Amino acid sequence: MSSALKEWRQYVSMTRRIILWDIDGTLITTGVIGRRALEGGAAEAAGIDTVPEVSMGGKTDPQIIAEILAASGVPDRLITGLVPKAVATAQILLAQGRSRMVAEGRVHPGVRNVLERLDAIGGVRQSLLTGNVGANAFVKVETFGLAGFFDFAVGAYGDDDANRDNLVPIALDRVARLRDERYSLSEVWIVGDTANDLRCARAGGVRCLLVGTGKEGLDSLSDLSPDFLLPDLSDTETVLAALLGT
């Protein structure tokens, strides 16, 4: 074994990180079924015939549904009560759409390799920080064979708080309570694909790696200032150096 490799392994063995992954646009794309599930949930809950299209990138499921209802002309006083009903229906529709998800969706370049490499490092814990409600988050990553990489119990989800900017403290509190692990903010990374992911990271005081694999693409992120910006996760060594470096 070369001295450089020995040094790298020794360094990695001392690394402590919690990596909080976004799902849509970062790990996978679900094709149209992810959008259709939320739209269908909103339509059924409110009796809407024509569903307006709203931007969904980097938002929570409850936030998206509330925006759909508002754009459909549903009075504000009714929206709060309709959102949970819409979310419940959306969960059913998404689960029923697994086969379509597989047919139309995909795992983004390099994702599986990066997850596998991080999974092999004892000091690294991987979980999810996503706008998806917990049930939808599990369905999506499980459908594409990624569920085994994540400690779901310590993640933070759209049903924890409709405001994504509030999710980092939730995840850090959970990993402290459930795993007795406390991370300094410099040991925490969010990996995402939108400006909303970066804003969430900054609100939580943690670091952020953005990739250009989402719907908005790399150009939309070029004026932002994440800690790292990559076109995708295909360069495994570069990604690991970013997330595990000082």
Read off the pLDDT of residues 137-183 as tens digits, 9 standing for 90 and up. Answer: 999 999 999 999 999 999 999 999 999 999 999 999 999 999 999 99
For 70-123, the pLDDT digits (tens) are: 999 999 999 999 999 999 999 999 999 999 999 999 999 999 999 999 999 999
For 9-50, the pLDDT digits (tens) are: 555 556 899 999 999 999 999 999 999 999 999 999 999 888
What tokens does 75 get? Answer: 């009075």
118 and 230 in a single domain? The answer is yes
14 and 58 in a single domain? The answer is no
67 and 115 in a single domain? The answer is no
122 and 203 in a single domain? The answer is yes
142 and 157 in a single domain? The answer is yes
Dihedral, CA atoms, 148, 152, 154, 156, nearest 10 degrees? 130
141 and 230 in a single domain? The answer is yes
96 and 124 in a single domain? The answer is no
Q: What pLDDT, on a 0 to 100 scale, did the predictor assign at position 157? A: 98
Which residue's entry shows tokens 């009796």?
47
Residue that is last in its domain, among 54, 83, 102: 102
Q: Which domain holds residue 22?
A: 3-30+106-244
Residue that is last in its domain, among 102, 125, 156: 102
Provide the CATH number for the domain around residue 11: 3.40.50.1000
For 192-230, the pLDDT digits (tens) are: 999 999 999 999 999 999 999 998 889 889 889 999 999
25 and 127 in a single domain? The answer is yes
Cβ neighbourhood burial of 3 (10 Å; 0-12, 13-18, 19+): exposed
Residue that is last in its domain, among 79, 102, 125: 102
* Residue (of 19, 18, 13, 21) closest to 121 by Cα position: 13
What percent of the chain stands above pLDDT 70? Answer: 94
What type of residue sits at position 234?
Answer: S
143 and 164 in a single domain? The answer is yes
Q: What pLDDT, on a 0 to 100 scale, did the predictor assign at position 5? A: 46
Number of structural domains (the chain) is 2
Q: Is the dihedral of CA 149, 155, 157, 162 positive or negative?
A: negative
| pTM > 0.75: yes or no | yes
16 and 123 in a single domain? The answer is yes
Contact between 19 and 207 under an 8 Å Cβ cutoff? The reply is no
**Under 8 Å CB-to-CB from 224, ≥6 apart: which residues?**
195, 198, 210
175 and 192 in a single domain? The answer is yes
CA distance 86 to 65: 7
117 and 228 in a single domain? The answer is yes
Contact between 123 and 16 under an 8 Å Cβ cutoff? The reply is yes
Q: What pLDDT, on a 0 to 100 scale, did the predictor assign at position 45? A: 93
